[in-house]
Structure 1
Amino acid sequence: MSLAFSSDAVSVGAPAAGTLRELQERIHSLQGRRNREGSYPVLPCFSPFFPDGLRGGAAYSLETPLSVAMALLAGASAEGQWCGAAGVQDFGAEAAAGFGVDLDRFVLVPDPGDDWTAAVGALVEVLPLVLVRPPGTVRPGDASRLGSRLRERGGVLLVLGTWPQSEGRLTASSSSWEGLGHGHGHLARHRVRLELNQRGRTRTGTVEFGPTSGAGLPGAATRPDAGWPSTGLRDAVRKERDLAGRIGAAG
């Protein structure tokens, strides 16, 4: 099942579940038990940076090309984990597939709407790995609530940009593609110089990865229509908003 949500509630494959619980059950039936305590695998090229994989229950800040984020999702995706992206309107599904992301286990929400935090909270509730691009500065309180949800569910949040309570910050200092020549040819390899700052330690190195046959430059594929999914995730966001209100009133 591949779900690409738009203003027309486009669903490729079986229709989207009508409620958050149904979506949870559906994903669980296809995926099995979530990784609540351990880590999620990464592609071999990222092993020097994440020798134990991406830690479950953590958020990572990425100041890198979008292709790096796609490749980071690919390791867990290849192991059968569900992934998703929210607010990343230049996310190219074809490019992601080229880097190894399984689109049959992927949920895309190009435009989460006004209540971004609630939308991401709804996705974190059902998906093990979620890639997001915040629309602006994230408030520490919102980051704390999402962090609690991540720890509870054992998921991973990859953030394109800064994040107040990140497990680590991955930055790119240089980036180049191989395979293009004089206006023709195909992209073959992407070389990126990376630095990871994590828990007081710094790791640096150069990674190389590339799209498989048929994939193009990330973001070059047709951009999905902006919009919100239909009732399922919209209802989930409403539940998240109500829960946040009750928590605020209790505090």
Structure 2
Amino acid sequence: MGIGLDAVTALSPVGDSRAGEVLRLRREISRMQRRRSEHPLLPLDPAFASLLPEEGLQTGAAYTVTSSPGLVLALLSAASQKGLWCAVVGMPTLGVEAAAGFGIDLERLILVPDPGERWLAVTSALSEVVPLIAVHPGTRMRDADASRLNARLRDRGCTLLVTESPATGIWPQSEGSIRIHDPHWHGLGAGWGLLSDCTVTVTAQTRRAPMPSSVQVRLPGSRGGVEALAADLSSLPARRDVTVFDNGTAAPPVDISRWAAAG
């Protein structure tokens, strides 16, 4: 049941055949007959749980995200592992092997690599039945078209991840943004070595939580996917012991890191 990878690889035609492919996609989607989600949130990978106050993506909302295949796959992974369908529209460089490395169920992944100018029609059709969609807009859209699509997202309980670019700008009526910055690759020496993993900072900001929240993760990690970074205890201040006398007063704190043990 549903649209497998083989069925959607043809959804990047040229010329007038695009209209026919969109109609075929609509017929396939109608067969899936997904009911509206009863859950207000879609799950996130535990490494991202502290980014959003609800620890999940709001259903029926759109988020603006950095145009990074790794970030897109990381945001899709938890929902896919829960058995939900996901779709990626307009990202021809996103690899199936990379998706599998993030733990995404390829049997429930719809890929529409190159919808051209019909990306909006494809996204709108998919939102009828797919709970989580990532899209890279091929063209700048009008505010009226964005309002209609946002209304459909709310009606169907579909969550949209929209990658930003200078050509398309920020998605209108976005619930929030999730962006990566400060990437640092590991594994290369002085002109030699292999890239092993990349440390990045991920920052989220939403309407409900206007103050930015950030986490550091490996994206990708050494085994693919996203990995949370362990707390760096070396950055904590030195331990200071406080002695309390019988009268309730405290002696000046002593920095024990400056003492050497005698034996």
TM-score relative to the length of structure 2: 0.68
**Structure 1 residue 191 and structure 2 residue 199: aligned?**
yes
Asked which structure has the greater RCO (Cα within 8 Å, sep 6+), the reply is 1
**Structure 1 residue 121 and structure 2 residue 124: aligned?**
yes
Other-structure match for 1:89: 92
**Structure 1 residue 164 and structure 2 residue 164: aligned?**
no
Does the CA contact (< 8 Å) of 1:61 and 1:168 recur in 2? yes
Q: Could you say if the C-alpha distance between residues 149 and 36 of structure 1 is closer, same or farther in structure 2, counting changes exceeding 3 Å?
A: farther
2:47 alignment partner AA: C
> Offset at 1:114?
2.3
Structure 1: gaps spanning 5 or more residues: 11-16, 217-251
Other-structure match for 1:59: 62
| Equivalent position SS for 1:114 | helix
Does the CA contact (< 8 Å) of 2:87 and 2:133 recur in 1? yes
TM-score relative to the length of structure 1: 0.71
> Offset at 1:37?
4.5
- Of 43, 49, 52, 2:51 maps to 49
Does the CA contact (< 8 Å) of 2:63 and 2:177 recur in 1? yes
Q: Return the index of the structure with the highest Cα Rg.
A: 2
- Of 178, 188, 208, 2:186 maps to 178
Does the CA contact (< 8 Å) of 2:60 and 2:154 recur in 1? yes
> Offset at 1:8?
8.0
For 1:9 and 1:170, locate their aligned partners in 2 and report how far apart those are by CA, in whole Å. 28
Other-structure match for 2:211: 201
Identical positions, percent = 38
Does the CA contact (< 8 Å) of 1:34 and 1:154 recur in 2? yes
- Of 38, 41, 51, 1:39 maps to 41
Other-structure match for 2:74: 71
**Structure 1 residue 106 and structure 2 residue 114: aligned?**
no
Structure 2: gaps spanning 5 or more residues: 14-22, 165-169, 226-263
| Equivalent position SS for 1:171 | strand
Give CA deviations for 1:162-220 in whole Å, capped at 9, x if unaligned: 21111101222211333456655463x3321122121123212322343675x69xxxx
**Structure 1 residue 26 and structure 2 residue 35: aligned?**
no
Q: Mapping of 1:212-231 within 5 angstroms?
A: none
For 2:87 and 2:61, locate their aligned partners in 1 and report how far apart those are by CA, in whole Å. 16
Q: Could you say if the C-alpha distance between residues 108 and 38 of structure 1 is closer, same or farther in structure 2, counting changes exceeding 3 Å?
A: same
